[in-house]
Structure 1
Amino acid sequence: MNLTNRDAFQEALVKNVIIVVLGIAINCTNGIIVLTFFKNSVFHSDSRYILYMNLVVNDMILIFLSVTLYVLSYANPFFKASTCCSVLIIGSTTHMNTPIILAGMAIERYIAICKPLHHAQMCTVRRTYFIIGLTWGVGFMPALADVIIVLATQPISFFSTVIFCFPLSLYNTRYHEEKVKVVQGLYISFVWLTLIYTYVRIFLTAKAAKGDAASAKKALNTISLHGIQLLLCMLSYVTPFLDLVLITYFPIYRSKITFLGYLITNIIPRLLSPLIYSIRDQKFAKHMSQYFSCKIIICKGKQKRRNLKHFSKKVCSFNN
């Protein structure tokens, strides 16, 4: 964001309203999904849904921090370096987690479709939670590396200074640049190789399947949507370079270019998650609709009123 060339009030207001409304909508939807998961024990022993909840919680944290920082970049973008560093550590970890989680979910679907006899043994609940912990550990490592570089190149007093809270303001050494290149190369290679391998294997299984072709085809469609979501998420790695190129040719549209880049790479992929994993899943969608339907709410309200009346009658008869 260019601090010397601020948006007009109306444009800034429209952008912030769009981002905040989308952020609230995503987190409210994801909150309903998380509540549905915890209220129905049938999902607690299924590695597929456990991995999905990990993605949902990760997205909720990322969206909250991302939208908050976006709004504050207009209202009050300056923080103490220590505070900014703490926020960026969480944001960086959740950002790096997303492609790894998607890769893990693709592997789980590959095992379920291509090795169904081994799925129960390989994808146990205990192993699933271990994979989740490993995912968060791997996602945290790049953020930790950034902090270590800052500690090695800056005096301790730097963390007491007030800075513009933006990654490039805090992590601006050549060591950070080299770290970003290495980490992004490793992450992108691993995730895309995993996705391509699982897609090809599931595609071949779906093509050769006779008995459970519908399940294999559905898994193939899910992996395809994985790819679309992952492509949008991965665009965030190249967005700074695209912004630089586009802004060079269209400098008067600098603010609009950065806004669209943020919207496409950070917000839109999180809108796809409920469509891919919950609404398309008949089992999960059924529990969501039952739990949050107006009929259930009305019935529960009526039942509470009946229980209250029954309790009042008992109290009256006891007093008499």
Structure 2
Amino acid sequence: MANNSSLVGRGFLPRQINDRVIIVQILVMIFLSINLLLVMTFFKKECFYTSARYILFAVTLLSDSLLLFMSDILLIFTYFEFTLQVWLCVIVCVVPLLYLVVTPVTLTAMTLERYVAICMPLRHGELCSTRNTMHGILIIHGLSSVPCIVVLCTFFASASLSFYKQHNVCSVEIFSLYRWQDHIRSAVYQFYFLIMCIIIVFSYVKIMKVARAASGENKKSTRKGLRTVLLHGFQLLLCLIQLWCPFIETAVLQINFRLFINVRYFNYIMFRLAPRCLSPLIYGLRDETFFHALKNYVSFGWYKRNI
């Protein structure tokens, strides 16, 4: 049915898709450039790469950049119908599968860091030391690899050896040969996001209790922490909706191909690109220390001299 629909749609879709692909390329380049600028600023001051919150922020920037870059390559492959052998496509798709989960898990770790800083300030230096943060990054990647391993195991158990030699358009959908694989993948992702949502709600409630009891500068700090946790929750919500997008797109494809193209484009902009541009906003612009360092770096030291 998809083949028939694509044939029917060829008369009016190429120009529309081409314009949209160009817009996506521009947005991806803008986001990658901003992330690169923030990462370079991160390495300019020692206080950033010795602080847990900024180290985790750099991890989100790098994982988002890698995910944007790889998903953009897959988008171009799909648009130009560039085929690869399945075994090579599997290798290419492992990175997007892994880093799809790394960012939300890192956001959860950043929320816990804010919880420790505000609710247990005396133990913050010990629990969130540079050494423990590096160990935390390894744990983050270990936890994030579990859904990827589950997807790969179900795929390897179902695919025949001859299938790996076939040429197909490369996308992560290649791992879903049967409907039950989609259900297993969805169940694992939803379990992860349920745990992460519980952690964020728990941290928010605890920080809110501290905020009520605080006064003066402490009250201002805890309120800022509350807003940060809320923004992390909003990012997680967008990431969670992204996991439902393939099911929505599959259902829409059965109805109308043109509607499918529109829905897929909207999902890519809203639930792939948008969550990835929120991290620079939360920690790159809202954080005064990082923002001043960024302005100083962008102005080649002129901003600092004026101060």
Instruction: Give the TM-score normalised by structure 1.
Output: 0.87
* Higher CA-based Rg: 1
- Partner of 1:52 in structure 2? 57
Using the TM superposition, give the Cα deviation of residue 157 of structure 1 relative to its aligned residue in structure 2, in angstroms.
3.3
Q: Which residue of the partner structure matches residue 61 of structure 1? A: 66
Which of 135-144 and 174-183 deviates more? 174-183
Which secondary structure state, in structure 1, belongs to the residue aligned with residue 168 of structure 2? strand
Q: Distance between the aligned counterparts of 1:107 and 1:129, measured in 2?
A: 15
Cα contact 2:42–2:48 (8 A) shared by 1: yes
> How do 1:119-134 residues align onto structure 2 when only pairs under 5 Å count?
119-134=124-139
Distance 2:256 2:84 in 1: 31
Matched, 1:265 2:258: no
5 Å-filtered alignment, 1:37-186, equals 37-186=42-191
5+ residue gaps, structure 1, are: 300-320
Show CA shifts across 1:107-158 (max 9, x none): 0000101111110111111111111111111212222222223322223332
- The 3 A distance-change label for structure 1 pair 247 and 76 is closer
Task: Name the SS of the counterpart of 1:39 in structure 2.
Answer: coil
Aligned partner of 1:28 in structure 2 is 33
Which residue among 280, 295, 300 is the counterpart of 1:274?
280
Residues 152 and 175, structure 2, Cα contact 8 Å, conserved in 1: no
Which residue type is aligned with residue 93 of structure 1? L
In 2, the alpha carbon distance for the partners of 1:156 and 1:150 equals 11
1:188-225, Cα deviation, whole Å (9 max, x unpaired): 21111011111111112112211411110111111111
What is the CA distance between 1:228 and its match in structure 2?
A: 1.4
Matched residue, 1:313: none
* Structure with higher RCO (Cα < 8 A, 6+ apart): 2
Separation of aligned partners in 1, 2:86 and 2:33? 31
The structural deviation recorded for 1:294 is 5.2
TM-score, with normalisation over the residues of structure 2? 0.90
Distance 1:173 1:245, change over 3 A: closer
1:239 aligns with 2:245: yes
In the TM superposition, residue 86 of structure 1 has moved relative to its aligned partner by 1.0
* Counterparts of 1:25 and 1:249, CA distance in 2: 34
Distance 1:162 1:246, change over 3 A: closer
| CA shift digits 1:23-64 (9 cap, x unpaired) | 111111000111111121121210000011111100000000
Q: Which residue of 1 aligns with 2:200?
A: 195
TM-aligned CA deviation for residue 87 of structure 1: 1.6
For residues 155 and 202 of structure 1, the distance between their equivalents in structure 2, rounded to whole angstroms, comes to: 52
In structure 2, the residue matched to 1:310 is none
Distance 1:136 1:182 in 2: 20
1: distance between equivalents of 2:173 and 2:257? 20
**Does the aligned pair in 2 maintain the 1:89–1:144 contact within 8 Å?**
no
Residue 79 of structure 1 aligns to a residue in which SS? Answer: strand
Aligned to 1:292: 298
Query: Equivalents in 2 of 1:85, 1:217: separation in Å?
Result: 45
Deviation at 1:181, TM superposition (A): 3.3
Kept in 1, the 8 Å contact 2:77–2:170? The answer is: no
Aligned residues: 297
Distance (Å, rounded) in 2 between the aligned partners of 1:143 and 1:202: 33
